[in-house]
Amino acid sequence: DIQMTQSPSSLSASIGDRVTITCRASQDIIDYLAWFQLKPGKAPKSLIYAASSLHSGVPSKFSGSGSGTDFTLTISNLQPEDYATYYCQQYKTLPFTFGPGTKVDV
Amino acid sequence: EVQLLASGGGLVQPGGSLRLSCAASGFTFENFAMSWVRQGPGGGLEWVSMISGDGHTTYYADSVRGRFTVSRDNSGNTMYLYLQMSSLRVEDTALYYCAKPYASGTYYSFDHWGQGTLVTVSS
């Protein structure tokens, strides 16, 4: 199975900050990389697919980059609604696997 | 509007069984492979199972293979995704989500998720 790691595991940021989360795959996944936002009690929200493509309705403050094994999610101008846990996922190979998550809080 | 509504969770004893359902609407259901993903008490996400659009091909995580069975109903006015869970273990305790991929085919990530249904396995 492809192992996914994320760093940091948590971070504290202020309103208006720009934050960057890193995701690394244990082998080349080309650009089969997605990012999700999870908040307690809410359905997960899909943010990015194919490493850098935004899903419909996702604001441009979210951006993704990378290819191969190293990827990043950047959130610009952090707002209260962005405080959540973010997960990366590879979907190049079954079983699809997720990173352990990065919690973004105040 | 795509809607996924999961149900069927509950409290079950180890070794017991449970059937989850996910009612799908707002898209051409039979064109999409559908997945179940779970979130354990620690917060981590685990892909559990996937079924092809026509229902003929199924995939499972090693942790559930042989105990869980995914199926779907592409007929009727409301389309359904199911997950039959047997020989349940304490470690199967999780919030179970149904998820739709962003495109037809197998190797695509998800664009829509259901709200989740909680399964608790405990004596």
Predicted pLDDT of residue B26: 92
Is B113 in the A-facing interface, judged by CB distances under 8 Å?
yes
The mean pLDDT of A43-72, rounded to a whole number, is 97
pLDDT tens string B16-26: 999 999 999 99
Q: What is the pLDDT of residues B43-84, one digit of tens each?
A: 899 999 999 999 999 999 999 999 999 999 999 778 999 999
Amino acid letter, A31: D
CB B4 within 8 A of CB B112: yes
Mean pLDDT of A67-87: 97
Chain A contact for B27, CB < 8 A?
no
Please tell me the predicted confidence (pLDDT) of residue B21. Answer: 98
Which strands sit side by side in the sheet containing A62-67, from one edge to the other?
A4-7, A19-25, A70-75, A62-67
Residue A41 in tokens:
């009690």
Q: Residue B107: its pLDDT value, please?
A: 83
Q: Which residue of B has its CA nearest to A98?
A: B45
User: Among A46-50, A80-84, B77-81, B85-89, where is mean pLDDT lowest?
Assistant: B77-81
Residues from A in contact with B at Cβ < 8 Å: 32, 34, 36, 38, 42-46, 49, 55-56, 85, 87, 89, 91-92, 94-98, 100-101
What is the per-residue burial (b if ≥16 Cβ within 10 Å, else e) of B22-42? Answer: bbbeebebeebbbbbbbbeee
B5 touches chain A (CB under 8 A): no
* Residue in A32, A91, A101 closest to B44 by CB: A101
Q: What is the mean pLDDT of residues A57-68?
A: 97
Q: Where are the beta strands (DSSP E) in B8-109?
A: 10-12, 18-25, 34-39, 45-51, 58-60, 68-73, 79-85, 94-101
Q: Which residue has the tokens 């919690």?
A: A103
By Cβ distance, the residue of A45, A97, A100 closest to B47 is A97
pLDDT tens-place string over residues B97-108: 999 999 987 789
